[in-house]
Amino acid sequence: MVMGLPALRHAGLVLAVSAFAFAGFAHADDPPQPRPEATAPTGQKGGRGGSSQTAAQASPSAAEQHGLPADATTNQMLDLPGRTLAFTAIAGSIRLFDDKREPQADIAYTSYELDGTDHATRPVTFLFNGGPGASSAWLQFGSAGPWRLPLDGEALSPSASPEVKPNAETWLDFTDLVFIDPVGTGYSRFVASGEDVRKRFYSIDGDVSSIALVIRRWLEKHGRLLSPKYVAGESYGGIRGPKVVRQLQIQYGVGVRGLILLSPLFDFREFTGTSLLQYVATLPSYAAVAREAKGPVTRADLADVEAYARGEFLADLVKGQADKEATNRLADKVAALTGIDQAVSRRLAGRFDVGEFRREFDRKNGKVTGRYDASVRGFDPYPDSSSSRFGDPSGDALQAPLTSAAVDVLTRKLNWRPDGSYEVLNGAVERAWDFGHGITPPQSVSELRQILATDPKLNVLVGHGLFDLATPYFGSQRVLDQLPAFATPRIKFVVYPGGHMFYSHDGSRQAFRGEVEALVKR
């Protein structure tokens, strides 16, 4: 799911560093223990008379009271076209401790392991979404897991059925799967109180350290340290992914064979302040939306727009609005590429931020485009307002059915029943997030370079959707183009019809699954 930070947040939706292990997780290495049942204190009804055991001694600790239940293991069978998959599913958690051995958080995971395989050679992939504040439900029930919830853009509504179906494109055929919900998402939660623990986890470094440690602990807990390992992240996973792999390499002694990134953002700098690169990154996606409205479009159809964006468009942007000839030239070209009224484009000097494009593209019909998928359009609830007051028709409708689907699978299929609410997209996490590092916006390009330089066998797969305005594909292309020559042969970049969750399109999901399988079997 997409990223969000104050400069990128639109319609109230959450999006979607260096290897650093702080002392708070130095000894966070014990697996969660079964939660004890409360027993009646002696001297009360049900206890032995004559003793003076205190209520504190007889009651569970605060951590146990707030923690998650014991892991639940079930045997599953999945009937798919041409094959049947028998696998073991575990819904559970890993408890993290601070350097004083005090419990800090229970991190929930859902794992699927194919039966009858050799764990020494069987690959295992760890998957997480973004946000910060998004659970792993999108990747689990939209793309890679054994069951899938149809995410069909305009056909989906909050009242759509949350019933999941067998996923013919599951990755389970060629890799075991572990879906991780960072603290504050899914059922993952703090078991310690106080602001200090929240500040540690709700930060770039603390988040990376906790996820890397959960991966290491899961491998130990399930006897999988010898397995080939892969990491997959979506959206803000573009920041998390390279950093987690680097942390595993240098801090936790775990090598990773491949990094898989879906709709990632690598560098916040081009989307902040007055950066001109934000307009370069989004222009090809704007044009893709306009052309898709007239018929199917592929990336190859956008070669002219990409060449213009990195050439004449950027050159005219740099000249500035003081150069009226250059400004009008680019404004008119942008109007022609996007179909937006020329007068509007000139008024905005051809510089459409995402919110402006979403409102102006189909304004004549009182509709706005999606941010996650701009090929999806919905009604503007305030079409006559002088300010933008709309949500995201490509994202808002997903939250209700996706939440219900996740809860139903965990409680009914996997027999794991935590108390509390399942947080599919927790805006409070993003609002509390410490993006850190002074005036330097977060980026993971440094870690991407380091992990590729450190391990010459590591390969990277990056997938994007053409109509994604949250993390536009051309932004990632620009970042990857700057990597040194030693890295580029081991990076594959693919772009498909679709939005941020491009796997909601059947053809795109099938094609990307084939790329993932090729990476894992390489």
State both tokens at 305. Answer: 């727009």
pLDDT score at 376: 86
Domain assignment present for residue 213? The answer is yes
Q: How far apart are CA 55 and CA 336, in angstroms?
A: 74
Q: Is the same domain home to 376 and 419?
A: no
Q: By mean pLDDT, which of 241-245, 403-407, 438-442, 465-469 is the weakest?
A: 438-442
For the purposes of burial, counting CB atoms within 10 Å of the CB of 251, is it exposed (0-12), middle (13-18) or buried (19 or more)? Answer: middle
Pairing state between β 147-148 and 124-128: unpaired
Q: For 389-431, how does the pLDDT look when each residue is reduced to its tens digit (9 = 90+)?
A: 667 776 677 888 899 999 999 999 999 999 999 999 999 999 9
Is the confidence at residue 202, as pLDDT, over 50? yes
Once rounded to an integer, what is the mean pLDDT over residues 481-498? 96
Domain assignment present for residue 416? The answer is yes
Q: Is the same domain home to 117 and 234?
A: yes
Angle at CA of residue 496, ends 244 and 476, nearest 5°: 45
Q: How far apart are CA 171 and CA 457, in angstroms?
A: 22
Domain assignment present for residue 19? The answer is no
pLDDT score at 230: 98
pLDDT score at 62: 55
Q: Is the same domain home to 151 and 218?
A: yes
Domain assignment present for residue 26? The answer is no
Once rounded to an integer, what is the mean pLDDT over residues 279-287? 96
Q: Is the peptide bond before 228 cis (omega within 30 degrees of 0)?
A: no
Q: For 44-65, how does the pLDDT look when each residue is reduced to its tens digit (9 = 90+)?
A: 333 333 333 333 333 455 556 5
Residue 152 three-state SS: coil
Q: Is the same domain home to 380 and 454?
A: no
Q: Is the same domain home to 493 and 461?
A: yes
Q: Is the same domain home to 365 and 410?
A: no
pLDDT score at 155: 64
Domain assignment present for residue 183? The answer is yes
pLDDT score at 321: 94
Once rounded to an integer, what is the mean pLDDT over residues 255-268? 96
CATH number at residue 156: 3.40.50.1820
Q: Is the same domain home to 179 and 264?
A: yes
State both tokens at 375. Answer: 């090929």
Q: By mean pLDDT, which of 76-85, 316-325, 386-395, 471-480 is the weakest?
A: 386-395
Structural domain including 331 reads 276-283+296-392
Domain assignment present for residue 326? The answer is yes
Question: What are the backbone angles phi and psi of residue 62, rounded to the nearest 5°?
Answer: -60, -40
Number of domains in the chain: 2
- Of 351, 375, 392, the position where a domain reaches its end is 392
86 neighbors 75 (Cβ within 8 angstroms): yes
Domain assignment present for residue 141? The answer is yes
Identify the band that residue 26 occupies on the pLDDT scale cut at 50, 70 and 90. very low
- Of 340, 358, 392, the position where a domain reaches its end is 392
- Of 359, 374, 392, the position where a domain reaches its end is 392
- Answer positive or negative: Cα dihedral of 325, 328, 334, 335: negative
Residue whose pair of structure tokens reads 């991780």 in the numeric block = 180
Q: Is the same domain home to 102 and 251?
A: yes
DSSP secondary structure letters along 382-404: STT-SS-----TTTGGGHHHHHH
Residues with Cβ within 8 Å of 332's Cβ and at least 6 positions away in sequence, in order, are 342, 345, 346, 350
Q: Is the same domain home to 442 and 468?
A: yes
Q: Is the same domain home to 193 and 300?
A: no
Q: Is the same domain home to 242 and 138?
A: yes
Pairing state between β 72-80 and 83-97: antiparallel
Q: Is the same domain home to 350 and 467?
A: no
Once rounded to an integer, what is the mean pLDDT over residues 318-346? 95
Domain assignment present for residue 218? The answer is yes
pLDDT score at 161: 81
Q: For 216-240, how does the pLDDT look when each residue is reduced to its tens digit (9 = 90+)?
A: 999 999 999 999 999 999 999 999 9
Identify the band that residue 270 occupies on the pLDDT scale cut at 50, 70 and 90. confident
